[in-house]
Amino acid sequence: QQILACFDIVPDIVLKREGSSLLEFTVGCRQQLEIVMENQPWSAVIVQGDTESAFQGALAAFYNRVPVAHVEAGLRTYNLERPFPEEGIRQMISRVTRFHFPPTTRSREALQTEGIADKSIFMTGNTVVDAQKWTCAHRGIQRRIEGRGHLLVTAHRRENWGNDLAEICHAIAQIAGQQPDLQVLFPVHLNPVVKGPVNSILKGIPNVTLTAPLNYTEMQQALADAWLVLTDSGGLQEEAPTFGVPVLVLRDETERPEAVDSGCALLIGPTREAIVSSVTRLSTDVAAYQKMSQAGNPFGDGTASKKIVHALEKLLAPELVALAAEVSAEVPA
């Protein structure tokens, strides 16, 4: 619950994680959500993203005939294997959603192409940018180091497990050896499938720091202090541009092509050669680095949450919105 604490949010209902496999988690989550749905009548269920818990929340609402509102809707690769299982999950969520909140023009167009009515689609930007701006303002996140900054690395996706993860780690080791003045920060996922090869290949290299996973505030500070981000994460593709930090995406496909199109990210894949050459180029080509750094964030301006709330007020309680407007009109300026 550390991320909720960052925003001073105290949950009324806490679901327990049950089991370690995807099936066990799904069953446990679904059973708990059904109890929640039965406790009282709900006007809507809001789900965010493409996690299994989001899918189960949407499904529980659908089975109980409660409208589903999907935040971060319309992200697509149309390859069910990449990313897995997120691509399949978000497509299934869209099928049972009534109110869709895509962050960008491209995600909105994906929903339209799939036959979803325009009246159900509301482009808002991504709430991740709202969260960043709030955190910077309320938790004192700002660049704290002088000079170049570190190379921030994360790698955890299922499709990169095995040989691809080893390639990524060997590339980092090579870069660290070639650039001994470059500090590498690698928060390592706790999954043994990730932790094992990362420690085996990178542990003991003087300018590579391996840490436990960072909490939300720590990660935002790490981004603020970064020179470059090397990641297979979807969220970091959205977050790094807020701080003007270029992103090299360790995947063959991304559901966030806006980052690539705008110039703040490059899709390079997980091969050692591509990683080393891309990092080396940005180390030596100042103009190329500055172009990426100054591209801006294509995922929103920090007002997505307000747009979502406004839309839901109009959709779920139009009579209350109309009444509030009447009262406001009667109050003298």
**Which residues are annotated as catalytic?**
50, 72, 86, 156, 158, 189
Contacts (Cβ under 8 Å, ≥6 apart) of 164? 250, 270
Nearest by Cα to 78 from 67, 62, 94: 94
Return the half-sphere exposure (C-beta side, CA atoms, 13 A cut-off) of residue 54: 22
State CA 281 to chain mean position distance.
27
Distance in angstroms between the alpha carbons of the first and the last residue of the chain: 43
Return the half-sphere exposure (C-beta side, CA atoms, 13 A cut-off) of residue 75: 29
Contact between residue 69 and residue 47 where contact means Cβ atoms under 8 Å apart: yes
DSSP state of 234: S
Compute the chain's Rg from CA coordinates.
Answer: 21
**DSSP helix/strand/coil, 70:** strand
